[in-house]
Structure 1
Amino acid sequence: MWPAALTRLLRRRIVYIVLVVLLLIYGFGHLFDRDSFSGLHYDEYTVQRTRPLLWTQQLLAPEEQLNRTRGDPEARCRNSVQGRQWLADERGFVCRREEVLTNGCCNLELPGIGYYSCRTCNTSTHCCGVYEYCVSCCLHPGQQPLLERVLLAPNTPKYIFASVTDHFELCLVKCRTNSHSVEHENKYRDPAAKHCYGLTEAHESQRDVAPQGASRS
């Protein structure tokens, strides 16, 4: 009688031991995999674009942009969306939120609409005080060489820009605050110009950058 009971007890213990060992192996394996992944930086991955980025090639006069909009009643514009006061559309215009048409485009028939405007921007640091003006300034076709250098710079987080498809999307992403525009954790190098569309070298975060005269257009 007792040998059979002992055999059943041993079998149960063996099953429990096997289960515990399997759980330990799984737990340690998961822990090491996570630690090894967290030790890697996103920049260590090679990010390759699946298609070429589309740039704004033509520098059109505002009147020509207006004629194009009038000639195409189905025309719609992407814009920066988030601004409480200002919006920048994909054609390079910046206007107040109430000056945006239902198709998403700035109303060019109103006075004072900025076009590729670098207002609030410092042309030396390529940083702006207002996000929408940063986007508008960044969209100028003449900024393409600068933006290409940004994309190729070694300190540029490639994974952030891998999914952008065109000039407008690149400017939307680039003009958002990035780590290289801060001197310390919560202090901007230039508190009045924290949205940057150009190169922001890492070593600049270790020194004060005196604001220079803002360019207005």
Structure 2
Amino acid sequence: MWYAVVIRILRRRIVLTIIFLLSLTYCLVNLWGNSGNSYKDIEEIEYKREQPLIWREDTISNGTNGERPDECRNSVQGKILLVDDEGYVCHRNNLLSNGCCDSNENIQYTCDTCNTEEGCCAVYEKCVSCCLNPNKRSILEKAMEMASGRQTALFATVSDQFELCLAKCRTDSHSVQHENKYKNPETKFCYAYIEAHESQRDN
């Protein structure tokens, strides 16, 4: 009778050992198979746009005739300021019920906290507003052309200049040095292409 208990224990251990060895083999095969894919290879994946990006001048020339839309998208998350997709910045309390800032009380495409030579601004919403100006298209096209890695993937998913500006003005990894300090803490929201700090460049 005691030998039956021993056999049961051995069977359990054998089964567990087999399961463990199969799992270990599976992990090793997967690790070995993926070892050729470096981070750089992932960075070099091409991301294709499915639709052409809609630029501000395209919207203006497509029959809006300068009239405000019935509804606007806006930057949503600002505690004090918001920017709508027409490029107007307003206080959250003054946002109209249709999601637009009042065009009679606010300036369109405001760059008043921005260093337009660098393409960086002190206030996120004003960065987006300045970025939405149709004359910023060439700057944005260069930023998209020079993008790499996750930014390329992100830029491939945006549908228009508003979405591009929302994404571009969020803190860009190239606007920091040593990964934890802003190059310029006064103007940290950038719509233009920012060259990576030497601490982020590949040697």
The TM-score with structure 2 as length reference comes to 0.80
Count of aligned residue pairs for this structure pair: 193
Superimposed CA distance per residue, residues 107-162 of structure 1 (whole angstroms, 9 cap, x where no aligned partner): 1233xx12111110001110000000000000011111111111111557311212
Name 2:132's counterpart in structure 1. 139
Equivalent of 1:107, from 83, 99, 102? 102
How far apart, CA to CA, are the structure 1 residues paired with 2:27 and 2:82? 50
Name which of 187, 190, 193 aligns with 1:196.
190
Secondary structure, in 3 states, of the residue corresponding to 1:190? coil
Q: Secondary structure at the match of 1:87?
A: strand
Output the CA distance in 1 between the equivalents of 2:112 and 2:15.
Answer: 73
Please give the alpha-carbon distance, in whole angstroms, between the structure 2 residues aligned to 1:76 and 1:49.
26
Which deviates further from its counterpart, 75-84 or 33-42?
33-42
Distance 2:185 2:160 in 1: 29
| SS in structure 2 of the partner of residue 160 of structure 1 | helix
Shift of 1:84: 1.1
Please state whether the residue corresponding to 1:108 is helix, strand or coil: coil
Asked whether the 8 Å contact 2:177–2:197 carries over to 1, the reply is no
Instruction: Compare CA radii of gyration and give the structure with the larger one.
Output: 1
Structure 1 residue corresponding to 2:76, chosen from 78, 81, 99? 81
Distance 2:20 2:91 in 1: 64
The answer on 1:126 being equivalent to 2:119 is: yes
Among candidates 159, 168, 171, match of residue 165 of structure 1: 159
Aligned-partner residue type, residue 99 of structure 1: N
Query: Deviation of residue 16 (structure 1)?
Result: 5.6
Q: Is the 8 A contact 2:72 2:99 kept in 1?
A: yes
Q: List aligned pairs for 1:32-51, cutoff 5 A.
A: 32=31, 36=35, 39-41=38-40, 42-51=42-51
Distance 1:116 1:34 in 2: 51
- Any idea what SS the aligned residue of 1:95 has? strand
Unaligned runs of 5+ in 1: 207-217
RMSD: 3.3
